[in-house]
Structure 1
Amino acid sequence: MKAKSLLFTAILAVTSASTVASETKLDVRFGNNTNSDIKDSRVKFMHTFDSGFYFSAEAAQIHNDGYFAGNDSNDPDTNGLKAAAQEFEATYKFQINDDWFWSPGLVMVTAPNWTEYRPYLKLGTVFDNGLSVTSRYRYNWSNDANGKNKLDGSGTTRGASNQFDLWLSKSFGDVGLMYNPRYRFQDGVDQGTGRDDYWEHTVMVNYKLNETWTPYMELVSVDETYVDENGKRENDYAIRLGFVMTL
């Protein structure tokens, strides 16, 4: 309940500040992991001020029996929508010159049993041909002291991983393309892959219908987090459909 109140307060603060804002957007997305058959959705408010300060508030949900299935607390077989986590992000964009920028920021993720703090630093540029390149280093630190398993079987430890992202994006008229490889590492600690590292690759295509609506599709390759009935690890794959609405 506290997390939901924080999310509502953040959204209210964002939308009420429109008189001084340069841009406010709403992002709604539905996804499905093909091997694990996990259905999820996300609602995200994003707000960028004229000063370069950016803030977002996000709520993620897991859909067990279906995207619009119901719940029944007396029947464990009837299990539809379930809150997964809330995410808040704040960053400030500093222009180095006309082409380059850097942005320090912080992401905070809250879930029922833990909170994770993710400070990061971005560096980006736009080339003359319109190609945008942004890199990010992020440190993920959880307040759950025993949330991750050690690979040597000696027990559990805190999640404290190093993550690296790269975004390559370019627009072709009203069509936008983006590629985002992601790498995460924590020495000797299982990253859900049976190893101490993790890879994820995302390809996104969007189409700007007008100044308000931009639908998009994401194709995602998730590292070996899926374990089949024989105990064999395989990559999982996700298909995500969503839209961004400029408010």
Structure 2
Amino acid sequence: MMPKHCFLGFLISVFLTGVAGTQPAHESLKPQRVQFQSRNFHNILQWKPGRSLTGNSSVYFVQYKIYGQRQWKNKEDCWGTQELFCDLTSETSDIQEPYYGRVRAASAGSYSEWSMTPRFTPWWETKIDPPVMNITQVNGSLLVILHAPNLPYRYQKEKNISIEDYYELVYRVFIINNSLEKEQKVYEGVHRMVEIEALIPHSSYCVVAEIYQPMLDRRSQRSEERCVEIP
């Protein structure tokens, strides 16, 4: 039979082990993977729920600031939101400035600690969409007109601003001969109007394009293929 003092020690050991394996409520509520996602300077703060959260039982509070500032600012539209994202495009519109965002969660009267993003500078980190193409057949040739991606509405209200106002952009155009299953780069340069000549009559071609940013050594995804039949 186990002595009383040994049995008591066993119970204390089990109790302490159980406590050590339980996380504080605020820590398990803490939002995960808090980061900015940016396309064409449309800057969205995104996060994942804390480990203990499921469903829509929690609300979130969002703040932001410029690097170097001491005071955080509340994002009123995302103060008590149930969404897992917050649009901070207007608050991060100075694209050369570095920013931080942070999020905390609340559920059943408990609040988490703040989860903060890495430093985010829109000019360095925004991803550019592929160009939009218009294609017209002209005497057996193809005239390709390229359009840079649109900026968020907040920029358009001020003046007619293009993504080209912020970066040197190089356009690349590729043509695919469907009969030969062969792809060829037919243009690389800064002009947005490209004429593709010397096409084989009665053949099918597809055209795709992408944007390259020399300063950042970065390219966009390719546009959707536009296919035509040459008479």
TM-score, normalised to structure 1's length? 0.24
Which is higher, the Rg of structure 1 or of structure 2?
Answer: 2
TM-score, normalised to structure 2's length? 0.25
Query: Which fold has the larger relative contact order, with Cα–Cα distance below 8 Å and residues 6 or more apart in sequence?
Result: 2
Looking at secondary structure, tell me which structure has more helix per residue: 2
